[in-house]
Amino acid sequence: MSQVTMPAVPAPPHAPSKRALIDSRYVAPIFITCILLVGQLTFGILESYPRTVLAIGTSILAELILGRVFLNKWPHPASAYISGISVGILLRSPAYWPYALCSLISITSKYVLRIKDRHIWNPSNFGVSAMLFLAPATVASLSIQWGNYLLPMVVIWVLGFVIVWRVRRLHITATYVLSFFAFAFLRSWILHEPWQAEVAPITGPMYQLFIFFMITDPKTTVRSKRGQCLVAFLIAVVETVLRFFQSVYAPFYALFIVGPIANAIEIWFDSRRKQTTTAVVAKTA
Amino acid sequence: MKFGLKKFVLILFFIGLLATPAAIRWWTARHNQNAALDPKTALARHGFYFQEVSHASGVNFVHQGPTLDHKLDPIMPEVASMGAAVSIVDFDRDGWPDIYVTNSGEGSKNALFHNNHDGTFTDVAEQMGVADMNRPGTGVSMGAVWGDYDNDGYEDLFLYKWGKPELFHNDHGHGFTRASDTAGLPPWINANTAVWFDYDGDGKLDLFIGGYYSEKIDLWHLQNTEIMPESFEYAKNGGRKYLLRNLGNGKFEDVTDQVGINSHRWALAAAAADLRGTGRPDLFIANDYGVSELYFNDGTRFHEVGEQTGVGFAPKSGMNAAFGDIFNHGQYAVYVSNISENGVLIQGNNLWVPKEGTSGNGLKYENLARDLGVELGGWSFGAQFGDLNNDGNLDLFLTNGYVSLDRNRDYWYDFSKIAGGHTSIISDARNWPAMEGRSLSGYQHKDVWINDGAGHFDNVAQSVGVTDTHDGRSVALVDLWNRGVLDAVVAHQRGPLLIYKNTVEPENKWIAFDLQGSSSNRSAIGAEVTLFWNGQKQVQEVSGGSGFCAQNDRRIHFGLGRDPKVDKAVIRWPSGKTQTLDNVSTDQLYKVQEPL
């Protein structure tokens, strides 16, 4: 599953805007903390506070150490905090070690799985997907723990709409939702199953997190608007294929597969464009 | 970032991280070796082994499941998945425990296996009048609990059903008379748990019944298909609860609201015990699709303290409630079974252990299931504590497995899909994908966890001979042949009743108590025995129903280990009287009557 990452509001890279009340780097952590608290206080979605704290602590510590060793600087902990809290929300395990391990895998993946100095997997998407695949006897993903009611969805809708509308990424969410419904009805028709059963996953709160905050993660989506829509559509396509194979975590694995491929293609195109531009400039000169 | 030594080390580290789950799995498997049965080895290593002897004992009972309204056909195996239950009773007071088993097919017969004292049983349900309990139109049996409600010395039968509940008076062991119509029972329930206990200490057994489906539903004649839980973990649209106060003339009064019990959660298991040392039994309810509930009983009112005590915060799929003093500290732990399925849902079972330093109304629990090794048991159902090897520590027998159909096709994907959906989808059975012969957590191996007395339980099921993979529901522990060991009787959904005969290392000693109340209820349900030996103590209580749809032997059994020095046994009767037995010998069954 992907990192629950709020699309960042454009802002100067290191200094808070003079008019902004808070540093824009803290917006995402604050929003995701709000979601966690609402979920926990209303439904007790967390396995436990200590496990979530362990995930966050491990994530930040790993980021600080790896950043210092490999980038020769102390990284800002906001990104690691988001990765850690995502692990804390998304992972379900009665044991403690999966939370620490998942955070470690998530953060380390950022430093290992890179093309042209850019990491291509959403860190916690990689970490949680890896844990679900490698440790199925010990971990599961958050699914039913947020109830089956409207209220938590409204909370996420409100937060989600505000964020994705503000950063002009509503088209990603809209594309995915429309694609999901189209494929849900297609599956229902092909499999002769109640359409409600195929639609059911997207009516649960966890999918709201997925469609608003996961697939819109700015660091692991392509840049062009059309490209973003295409990627959202392809995620739904791959998800449907996985669903035909009865994959319980189909959306998370779909994002795991499509996201980095899209990024790699974009990096390759960028590289080619750069080479062409350099060649043209050199020729012109 | 240029490739160098640091990057190489980082990649190795990353590969190591990815390999960690496999390494942990290998390490755990290495330490959980569960070899096939070899009696000599099992006896030497674990101190006991089981042999399945149902056929040899003349017990050839196979449970039949119900067939509900045809609107539920697509998911019938999942919905009609309960009803196999076993309870132990010495109905004719011959000193040998008998076995009552429920059936759930429409028109099927329940069985009462009379103990022939020679290792065999004979089904006498028909001649005793407690067989034909599942007639069409009356619903089907879900379980039974025994208690002497009129204090005449003979255990009476309460049968809870998806349908009309029934009360049968025991006519001095010669037969049963139906007493339902005058007793004041609810006309129709869809219940999966009931407990006899004397909540108000008046010497008469009262009855708690926990509804599962709403009592407004007739599962054979559905108005619509909106009968499922409104949420997988937060559902409150289940059946109501009943606390029926025994008025003493064969009549019961519904005092549920009056005493403060007002829950519509989906109860699957309940058990009562004095958790705070007040002399009044508290009530624990394990709920499916939600949190457990714990009610402190002050004798007139019940106070729900689930969140306060810690047991009622994280919602799961509670299916069992059993008490056991697993540390020999004189305090009960509570075992609640839930669902764990690799790669889909890891709820983990709960072992609620009293937090150190807490007691009385400040009692708090922590879940130590993982630490003690009794957390993962598949789709778990009934479980019971009992000292299976007589070593002085309570062990745990767990049944599991939900629907075993096609071994190669699984329903979990569809199940997980619908379980997370909006309440309007999940609550309507029409929206659930058809099972089409697929299994759902089927063919699971039971767990027999032995307590090493040092804070860990080891699963030895395979190596002590518990190897079946039927869909277990209800388990009762009982010394079937008065040998001083606990045998296990297991009821399976759409499967056979299995009797696991226990053979225990003879060096390990035991003591048992058969209590009979005088001013307390005659069944002595709620009487508590604390045994002091070798500088430790263990507490056990006579139960009016525990586990999942089960009732153990009413006699209390203590294992003592080798060369025990027993100091005393202290009996606290429900009336409040305390009786101390000094000079008790090992390998004895003590019949004790409450002093007047």
CA torsion sign for B455, B459, B464, B469 is positive
Q: Inter-chain contact B21–A134, Cβ cutoff 8 Å?
A: yes
Q: Inter-chain contact A94–B375, Cβ cutoff 8 Å?
A: yes
Q: Which of residues 42-61 of A touch B (CB under 8 A)?
A: 43-44, 47
Q: What is the pLDDT of residues B375-407, one digit of tens each?
A: 999 999 999 999 999 999 999 999 999 999 999
CA distance B340 to chain A (A): 8
Residues in chain B closer than 8 A to A145 (CB atoms): 233, 315
Number of alpha carbons in the 13 Å side-chain half-sphere of residue A134: 21
Q: Inter-chain contact A149–B422, Cβ cutoff 8 Å?
A: yes
Question: Considering the entire predicted model, what is its pTM?
Answer: 0.92
**Mean model confidence pLDDT for chain B:** 96
Tell me how far apart the alpha carbons of residues B9 and A66 are, in angstroms, rounded to a whole number. 12
- Categorize the per-residue pLDDT at A219 as very low, low, confident or very high, splitting at 50, 70 and 90: confident
Least Cα distance to A213 among A266, A255, A267 occurs for A255
Residue B34 burial (10 A CB sphere; 0-12, 13-18, 19+): middle
CA distance B239 to chain A (A): 19
Q: Which among A93, A194, A204 has CB closest to B433? A: A194
Lowest-confidence pick of A143-147, B171-175, B266-270: A143-147
Q: Which of residues 130-149 of A touch B (CB under 8 A)?
A: 130-132, 134-140, 143-145, 147-149
pLDDT of residue A285: 65
Tell me how far apart the alpha carbons of residues A149 and A141 are, in angstroms, rounded to a whole number. 19
Which DSSP symbol is given to B380?
E
Q: Which among B17, B20, B232 has CB closest to A144? A: B232
Q: What is the pLDDT of residues A227-250, one digit of tens each?
A: 999 999 999 999 999 999 999 999
Number of alpha carbons in the 13 Å side-chain half-sphere of residue B441: 25
Q: Which of residues 328-347 of B touch A (CB under 8 A)?
A: 342-347
Q: Quickly tell me which residue has 């997907």 as its tokens.
A: A129
**Chain A touched by B27 (CB under 8 Å):** no
Tell me how far apart the alpha carbons of residues B422 and B276 are, in angstroms, rounded to a whole number. 40
Name the more confident of B175 and B35: B175
Q: What is the pLDDT of residues A1-37, one digit of tens each?
A: 344 444 444 444 444 444 556 666 777 788 788 888 8
Is the confidence at residue B437, as pLDDT, over 90? Answer: yes
**Chain A touched by B419 (CB under 8 Å):** yes
pLDDT of residue B2: 54
- How far is the CA of B84 from the CAs of A38, A225, B350, B378, in angstroms? 41, 59, 23, 18
Lowest-confidence pick of B33-37, B142-146, B501-505: B33-37
- Closest chain B CA to residue A97: B21
CA distance A237 to chain B (A): 17
Q: Which of residues 367-406 of B touch A (CB under 8 A)?
A: 369-370, 375-376
pLDDT of residue B36: 74
pLDDT of residue B570: 98
Q: Which among B345, B370, B422 has CB closest to A95? A: B370
Q: Inter-chain contact A137–B7, Cβ cutoff 8 Å?
A: no
**Chain B touched by A181 (CB under 8 Å):** no
ipTM of the complex: 0.86
Residues in chain A closer than 8 A to B236 (CB atoms): none
Mean pLDDT, residues B211-227 taken together: 97
CA distance B314 to chain A (A): 6
Query: Amino acid identity of A61?
Result: L
Q: What is the pLDDT of residues B46-97, one digit of tens each?
A: 999 999 999 999 999 999 999 999 999 999 999 999 999 999 999 999 999 9
Phi-psi region of B429 (alpha: psi -120 to 50; beta: other; left: phi over 0): alpha
pLDDT of residue A165: 81
Question: Which distant-in-sequence residues (6+ apart) come within 8 Å of A285 by Cβ?
Answer: none
CA distance A272 to chain B (A): 21
Residues in chain B closer than 8 A to A187 (CB atoms): none
Is the confidence at residue B14, as pLDDT, over 70? Answer: yes
Mean pLDDT, residues A92-103 taken together: 92
Q: Inter-chain contact A246–B410, Cβ cutoff 8 Å?
A: yes
Beta bridge partners of residue B532, listed in sequence order: B537, B568
Q: Are the CB atoms for A85 and A32 separated by under 8 Å?
A: yes
Residues in chain A closer than 8 A to B230 (CB atoms): 148
pLDDT of residue B33: 58
pLDDT of residue A13: 41
Q: Which among A105, A203, A206 has CB closest to B18? A: A105
Lowest-confidence pick of A208-212, B15-19, B188-192: A208-212
Q: What is the DSSP string of chain A?
A: -----PPPPP--SSS--SS-SS-GGGHHHHHHHHHHHHHHHHH--SS-HHHHHHHHHHHHHHHHHHHHHHHSS---THHHHHHHHHHHHHEE-SSSHHHHHHHHHHHHHHHHSEETTEE-S-HHHHHHHHHHHH-TTT-EE--STT-SSHHHHHHHHHHHHHHHHHTT-HHHHHHHHHHHHHHHHHHHHHHT--HHHHHGGGGSHHHHHIIIIITT-GGGS-SSHHHHHHHHHHHHHHHHHHHHTT-TTHHHHHHHHHHHHHHHHHHHHHHHHHHHHHHHHHHH-
Beta bridge partners of residue A221, listed in sequence order: none
Name the more confident of A220 and B255: B255
User: How do strand B241-246 and strand B206-211 relate by DSSP bridges?
Assistant: antiparallel
Lowest-confidence pick of A87-91, B82-86, B200-204, B424-428: A87-91
Q: Quickly tell me which residue has 């149902």 as its tokens.
A: B54
**Chain A touched by B15 (CB under 8 Å):** no
Q: Considering chain B, what percentage of its residues have pLDDT values greater than 90?
A: 92
